Structures are given as C-alpha cells and as structure tokens.
Homo-oligomer: A and B are copies of this chain.
Amino acid sequence: MMSTHAKRRVSRSQTAPWLLVAALGGALNPTAAHAMDPSFSLNSQGELKRPVGYREWVYVGAPVTPNDLNNGKAPFPEFHAVYIDPPSWAHWKKTGQFREGTILIKELVSVGSKEAASGKGYFMGEFIGLEATVKSAKMFPKEPGNWAYFSFTSADHKTPKSTASAQPTAECNSCHQGSAAQDWVFIQYYPVLRAAKGGR
C-alpha cells in the first residue's frame, strides 16, 4: 500500500533550503520553464516537501480501480489523477523523455457518486491522498531509473503531510519496473503523454 510510509533516509544529505516548486505563471512558459530546474529539493532530512499548485500542472490521465471490481479489496480503490510538472512536460514534448528533475503527482480521489444523469459509472468524490515520484540521478543514484517515490497521504486521508521520506525501493518500484511502458512510468494509461511525445 502506498499509504504506509518508510522512514528510510535517502542517501544524499542536503543542507540547501527549500526551493519553491515551480510557480504557476512562468513555469508554463517553456522558455522560462527550462531555466527553473530544479523545481524542488529535499530538506536536510532527505524529505521532499509536499508539492503545491500541482492541480494547475499538466494532467496526463486518471485511472480508477474501484473496490467493486476487486472483491471489495482494491489495493488502490480510488481515482488516481496524475500530473506532470510543466518544465518536464515541455521537455517531454520535445524529446519524449523524462528529464532529470521530473515530478509526477498522483492525487488520490475517492469514488463519489456511482450514478448520474449520464449513466452508471464512477465519479470523483473527495481528495484523499497525495503521492509523488521524482526522477533524479543526482539525488537518487541507486533507485531504479533514478525514480524515488513519496507519499504525503495521511492516516485520516484528510490533511496530507507536509513532508515525506522516500519509500523503500521495492514498495513502489516492483510494479513500475515490471509493468510500466516507458522509464518506470505507466504511459500506456496516460494518453496525454502518449499523444504529445516528442523526439520520435
């Protein structure tokens, strides 16, 4: 489960202060965006500060794996709204690769209504968790693909944590390594990424 949190410290100690996550305005200007790397940082405890403003980043897809379809015991019983940070989006469009410093957000959204005027189905309810993955050879040289995974989801699923340590490698990576279509990312389920992929 992504909601269990590892206390393992990442190997690299950093003393630099927080760098703000790329702010909205300029970050979506590709020219400005490239100058803003890195758009995040770890604190001296090796923790990632909870990203902000990500609902204004570029949304790439939203799978849902509800309890109904998993014998009431879905490992991830909610919608996952997935976003990429704007500078990394600009890079992806140009090169088709996830750059050093890419941040992908997975916001957990509960299944709300299951029936609406448009029919039976799954409709988003409330925000119940926040996960992030960061690709950085500098910061995570030993992680597969240099991706580290962080969970800000709190036990009550209401107020996300302000910081998170990297999860143990096996906890998230095993599925990503075995099943993700490119560079540990499930782009096969993210049509926005597939359609915009550059460098081909």
- A interface residues (Cβ-Cβ under 8 A, vs B): 24-26, 28-30, 32, 55-56, 58-59, 61-66, 69-70, 74-76, 79, 81, 83, 89, 109, 112-113, 116-127, 175, 178-179, 186, 188-192, 195-196
Contact = CB atoms under 8 A, between A and B. Distances in A.
Q: So how many copies of this chain end up in the complex? A: 2
Contacts of A179: 116-117
Given A63-B122, A65-B116, A74-B121, 20 more contacts: A25-B29, A25-B32, A55-B59, A55-B192, A55-B196, A59-B81, A63-B121, A64-B121, A64-B122, A65-B120, A69-B119, A70-B119, A70-B121, A75-B119, A109-B191, A112-B189, A116-B179, A116-B186, A117-B175, A124-B189
